[in-house]
Amino acid sequence: MITKKFITKLAIACALLGGATATLANASETALTNNTVAHANTVTKKYIWHKGTPKELRGNYRIIHIAKHPLSSKYFWAVWTITTKQVNFDEMNWPTRLGYKVRYRYIGPHRYELKYNIRKNGYIVATKNYRSYLGKKGKNLISYANNYTTKGNVYHKAKKR
């Protein structure tokens, strides 16, 4: 954020170096009155919902916590399968969560909010407008608990099942 104190120090420095203070004074007035210039880091895009899934997130991702024995309580696996119009989440000891009517919006660098309906499958209840917060870091998919968290579960790129 540009402050008046910073601009006056900058004007004094330019005057000492022989710069044009008149143009700097005009630039400082426009910088203070125009919010888009003075607060460039706070200007964001309007969140627009798009149909389908973002190309960046499409693919198969998996997470596996391997213990010494597969029947151990520490053994766990989960798989995300993201196609153009579907989001499927398969987890150990749970039926597959089948997502359809997918919409998404961009919420930050490599972060998206996906909103979709879930079909009834086994003891998974049918749900409308279920929200998932997903991101991409390198080749890995990150599943966030909500829009504001910075840490999440990391799923590695997997071959097609």
- 42/149 Cα distance (integer angstroms): 19
Per-residue confidence (pLDDT) for residue 35, from 0 to 100: 34
Per-residue confidence (pLDDT) for residue 47, from 0 to 100: 77
pLDDT band at 34 (very low <50, low <70, confident <90, very high): very low
- Residue 26 pLDDT more than 50? no
Domain 50-157 has CATH 2.20.28: no
Per-residue confidence (pLDDT) for residue 36, from 0 to 100: 35
Per-residue confidence (pLDDT) for residue 31, from 0 to 100: 43
Q: Which residues pair with 117 in a beta bridge?
A: 100
- According to DSSP, residue 126 is labeled P
Domain segments of the chain: what residues? Answer: 4-42, 50-157
- 63/5 Cα distance (integer angstroms): 51
pLDDT tens, residue by residue, 113-153: 999 999 999 888 999 999 999 999 999 999 898 878 888 88
